Homo-oligomer: A and B are copies of this chain.
Amino acid sequence: MISDSLPAQMVEAMRLQQPLSRVELSRQLAIAPSTAGIHVDRLLEQGFLRVASAPVSSPGRPPVVLELNPEAGQFIGIDLDSRSIRGVSVDFAQRLLRDRTLPLKRTANANEVIEQIASTIEDVRDQSRPLLAIGLGVPGIFDADRGVALHYAHIRGWTDLPLAERFANQFDVPVHLENNIRAMALAERWFGQGRDSQNYICVGVRSGIGAGVFVNGELFRGTHGLAGEIGRWPIPQSGCTAVLEDVASISSLLQSATEAVVSGQKTSMQAVRQRVQWESFREAVQAGDKLACEILHAAARNLGTVLASLTLILDPEKILVAGPLQETGDRFLDPLRSTLVEHLPAVHARKPLVAYSELWDLVGAFGAAGVAVHAWQPTDETVTTH
* A146 partner residues in chain B, CB cutoff 8 A: none
Distance of A228 Cα from B198 Cα, bound (Å): 17
Q: Does A101 contact B (CB under 8 A)?
A: no
Partner of A222, one of B224, B226, B235, B315: B315
Give a binary string over A263-279; 1 marks a CB under 8 Å from any B CB, 0 the rest. 00000000000000000
Question: Quick one: closest B residue to A352, CB to CB?
Answer: B223
Tell me the residues in window 213-243 of chain A with beta carbons closer than 8 Å to chain B beta carbons: 213, 215-216, 218, 220-230, 232-238, 241
Q: Is the CB of B350 within 8 A of A224?
A: yes
Q: Is the CB of A227 within 8 A of B315?
A: yes
Chain A: how many interface residues by the 8 Å CB criterion? 45
Distance of A238 Cα from B232 Cα, bound (Å): 21
Distance of A213 Cα from B315 Cα, bound (Å): 11
Q: Is the CB of A309 within 8 A of B312?
A: no
A-B contact pairs, 29 of them (CB 8 A): A198-B223, A215-B215, A215-B216, A216-B216, A222-B314, A223-B316, A223-B350, A223-B352, A224-B350, A226-B347, A226-B348, A227-B313, A228-B315, A229-B312, A229-B315, A229-B345, A229-B347, A230-B312, A232-B312, A232-B345, A234-B305, A234-B309, A236-B236, A236-B237, A236-B305, A241-B343, A306-B309, A313-B313, A313-B314
Tell me the residues in window 299-317 of chain A with beta carbons closer than 8 Å to chain B beta carbons: 305-306, 308-310, 312-317
Q: Is the CB of A223 within 8 A of B315?
A: yes
Q: Is the CB of A215 within 8 A of B220?
A: yes
Give a binary string over A146-183; 1 marks a CB under 8 Å from any B CB, 0 the rest. 00000000000000000000000000000000000000
Q: Does A211 contact B (CB under 8 A)?
A: yes
Tell me the residues in window 183-230 of chain A with beta carbons closer than 8 Å to chain B beta carbons: 198-199, 211, 213, 215-216, 218, 220-230
Tell me the residues in window 341-366 of chain A with beta carbons closer than 8 Å to chain B beta carbons: 343-345, 347-350, 352
Q: How many copies altogether?
A: 2
Distance of A384 Cα from B146 Cα, bound (Å): 52
With A199-B222, A350-B224: A233-B316 Cβ-Cβ less than 8 Å: no
Q: Is the CB of B224 within 8 A of A315?
A: yes
* A237 partner residues in chain B, CB cutoff 8 A: 236
* A224 partner residues in chain B, CB cutoff 8 A: 315, 348-350
* A234 partner residues in chain B, CB cutoff 8 A: 305, 308-309, 343
Q: Is the CB of B312 within 8 A of A233?
A: yes
Q: Is the CB of B213 within 8 A of A216?
A: no
With A216-B218, A218-B216, A236-B305: A317-B230 Cβ-Cβ less than 8 Å: no
